[in-house]
Amino acid sequence: MSEKFTVLDLFSGAGGLTEGFSIDKFRFLAHVEMDPNAARTLETRIGYHVLRSAGSEEIYYSYLRNEISREQFIAHIRSKNLFDDNIFVRQICDSTIDDLFAQIDATKKKLDIDHVNVLIGGPPCQAYSIMGRARDPNGMVDDPRNDLYLQYIAFLERYKPDIFVFENVPGIKSAKNGDVYKDLFEGFKKQGYIPDHRLLDAADFGVVQNRKREIIVGWKAEYWLQYPEFRKAPSDAMVGDLLGDLPSLLPGQGTDLPQDYRGPATAYLRDSGIRTEDDVLRNHRARNHNDRDREIYRRAIRELEAGKRLHYNELPAELITHKNVTSFLDRFKVVDPSKRSHSVVAHISKDGHYYIHPDIDQARSLTVREVARIQSFPDNYLFEGARREQFKQVGNAVPPMMAAGIAKQIHAMLKCI
């Protein structure tokens, strides 16, 4: 079997899981992502990887430094025939799947790929999320995303990879009273796979975040394989190690364009590769906040400094605007600089109240770059689109450091076949 294994990447998002498999041991047949902003970010990141492989990554850094436009950056890659044109910006559903199969089959032929080794991806998790169900009056039972796992199984049936990786939130196990999870496993087995699962924590992969994810790995029944053993390697770093070198910002300050770092990289940033000597700071722009929210932020920071957490129903009446004062009482939450961060979720695209910067002088929510660091994205990972879209991309992603640990073990499994 070839040393370079072929990956088919579904529900790619901005490329968190993709990033883990973007090493020399794998090549991608195709990426499928319906969000055009996330797909644009993914295209930019693939551009970085192909230029790095060709020894021409300075072109990417010219784009990162805003010395050339994105159009010039993409045009250069295409002129060198480095792009495979294998990002399909399509929704995966009953009405599109046959056309997607045809497009991927054509790409498979063009790239002279005879077999898919690995299928990776996880359907959008909002319909399975416990928090998402709690926020929705109908508990998300009518959400069409509930059935996207069936499309994943359809790709298994079509391409018959040796191994698959299915990622999702822990809440998928209880979605529709457990029926989704049960049906998912039955579908895997029906296609001739042995599926197994673990609840893995990104913190055990060195990510400075407590973030649990259900990771299902399956392999063809004829293979003598077992679920990989992931050696726990948590870091001693805390949130403070991620933020101290970044410029202080007041609400509304900062820019998506290049900025200077405030100070040198911490040991964790250097050792993890999140920040290197060549990196350029981008996506560091603070939201605007009204005076009421900033006062709540300051109160939340003072409470944390006193060793407590702010509860929404304990605020003065003039600061309370939500009718619900019996649940989501921690809706205003400071990221504790002396601990790992709480889990980053896509809701951050709507407001930043759950991710307040711990510096009382700044009294603001985190920027895209700060959240990206919590997710273990390197500073040279540029997020495209409007800021709200950038937040959503980061919040939906698998932390790249976690993804890299998964990819390493999948590679070891493939070598045993």
pLDDT in tens, 320-341: 999 999 989 999 999 999 999 9
Residue 141's pLDDT band (boundaries 50, 70, 90)? very low
Residues 358 and 301 sit within 8 Å (Cβ to Cβ): yes
Q: pLDDT for 388-398, tens place per residue?
A: 999 999 999 99
125 assigned to active site: yes
Task: Please determine, for residue 113, whether its predicted confidence score (pLDDT) is greater than 70.
Answer: yes
CA pair distance 55, 51, nearest whole angstrom: 6
Choosing from 17, 39, 77, 125, the catalytic residue is 125
CB 288 within 8 A of CB 252: yes
Q: How far apart are CA 333 and CA 52, in angstroms?
A: 39
State residue 135's pLDDT score.
Answer: 46
Please tell me the total number of residues recorded for the chain in this structure.
417
Q: Please give the mean pLDDT across all residues of the chain.
A: 93
Please tell me whether residue 148 adopts helix, strand or coil conformation: helix
Domains with residue ranges and CATH for the chain: 5-234+399-415 (3.40.50.150), 240-396 (3.90.120)
Query: Does residue 146 carry a pLDDT above 70?
Result: no
**Does the predicted TM-score (pTM) go above 0.85?**
yes
Contact 395, 272 (CB under 8 A): no
Q: Is 311 helix (H, G, I), strand (E, B) or coil?
A: coil
Instruction: Catalogue the long-range contacts made by 387-392 (C-beta closer than 8 Å, 24 or more residues apart).
Output: 387/256, 387/285, 387/287, 388/349, 388/350, 389/35, 389/37, 389/38, 389/349, 390/37, 390/41, 390/283, 391/346, 391/348, 391/349, 392/35, 392/38, 392/346, 392/348, 392/349
Given a contact cutoff of 8 angstroms between Cβ atoms, the answer to whether 140 and 395 are in contact is no
State the pLDDT at residue 23.
82
User: What pLDDT is recorded for position 176?
Assistant: 83
